[in-house]
Structure 1
Amino acid sequence: MSKKIIKDELPENYEELKKAVNRTASWRARLDAVEELGRYNTSQVIDIMNTRLANDPVYKIQEEAYRILIDFGKDVQLPARKKFEIVKGANKVFLRVKKSLPKDHTFEEFATKLKRMRIDVYDAYEGERGLEWLENEWTNIVTNK
């Protein structure tokens, strides 16, 4: 699918897209906003893409920002995918959530509480690694602690 790039203007819904691209509770909303903004080659959009490229915890979003910046003719490098903690201190968050639940809690209870306590952590790991990975982490915490 080829995107039409419109230069030197911002979309009418720029402010809404700017908010969505920074929404830590929804990697999907960030990705959609990045894709839509990627049609507008302006300095504001380039700044947003550079920020997503450097700082987004979900690699799919970093990759899309990278592709857009390359399409805009920018000389950028795709960062290496994080191998361990994608959100600093996440393992402590997982442990804190686990300890706050009854001993015989389920993964679903764990995931629900994690979403309530730290939607940013839940969303980043769900987007980057998937729920199966998160369930494996939960299993390791339950069996090792």
Structure 2
Amino acid sequence: MTTTHAYGVTVEWTGNLGSGTDSYRSFSRDHEVLADGKAGIAASSDPAFRGDPARWNPEELLVASVAQCHMLWYLHLCAAGGVTVTEYEDHARGVMTMDESGGGGQISEVVLRPEVTVADASMADRARSLHGDVAAVCFIARSVNFPITHTPVVRVRED
């Protein structure tokens, strides 16, 4: 039996400046990303596409999804594999490559740079190697068509 999970979100455009989409420059790209029972996410397009730089854009949210899924599966694998992680921070970066026509593009890569602290030096090698196991189980990584690489740094907690 196949198990499925559904994820419903609402995207609500809030950028009508009075004349709707009369022209490319007549409207704001501002919108809210909403889901039942959760605080909204103030979003826009990338500033290169007339977006508000103070709001999240779809490309950032995609990179964040990749990084979050990697982290959550990594922590699970560490817990199951006897590695005690005490800190985790990732400075992920995604690259969008534009088509030569200038009309479209795609995310061409995401590089994860997790910095992990473990409780004991004996766990460091295993902690490093478990990053390589995440791609086989991460829902997001398995759903995208661009490469995801990682360059982890593992530290030992100083007492």
TM-score, length-normalised on structure 2? 0.25
Q: Which protein, 1 or 2, shows the higher relative CO under an 8 Å CA cutoff with sep ≥ 6?
A: 1
TM-score, length-normalised on structure 1? 0.27
Larger radius of gyration between Structure 1 and Structure 2: 2
* Higher helix proportion (structure 1 or 2): 1
